[in-house]
Amino acid sequence: MMSMEIILAIIVLILSLILAGVSFIAYKKSHLRPALYLLVAFILLAVKKMVELLQLTEWIKRDLGWAISGLEIIFLVLFVLALWRR
């Protein structure tokens, strides 16, 4: 049986992939740079969640805290860049 933490991580992974898809469609229609930033940010969020899921299920036993934190920082920077109004 899956733990609640794994279930929530899977839900976040699915939502981030859906949002990446929506951002991709928005970028294809508008070619606006903020949509591209959001696309990359949501893909990075999906990668981060996948790494966390692998760590939770103990398929890999390394401490990936630095990698996870780095992906989180990059995600937030891209998200801020997408929302920044010039």
Tell me the whole-structure pTM to 2 decimals. 0.75
Q: Name the pLDDT band for 31 (thresholds 50, 70, 90).
A: very high
CB-based contacts of 30, cutoff 8 Å, min separation 6: none
On the CB side of 65, CA atoms within 13 Å amount to 1
Domain span holding position 76: 4-83
The secondary structure of the chain in percent helix, strand, coil, rounded to multiples of 5, reads: 80, 0, 20
pLDDT(68) > 80: no
CA distance 16 to 29: 20
Q: What is the reported pLDDT for 74?
A: 87
pLDDT for the residue 60: 61
Residue with tokens 């733990």: 3
- Rounded average pLDDT over 71-84: 84
Number of domains present in the structure of the chain: 1
For the residues 66-77, what does the mean pLDDT come to?
Answer: 82
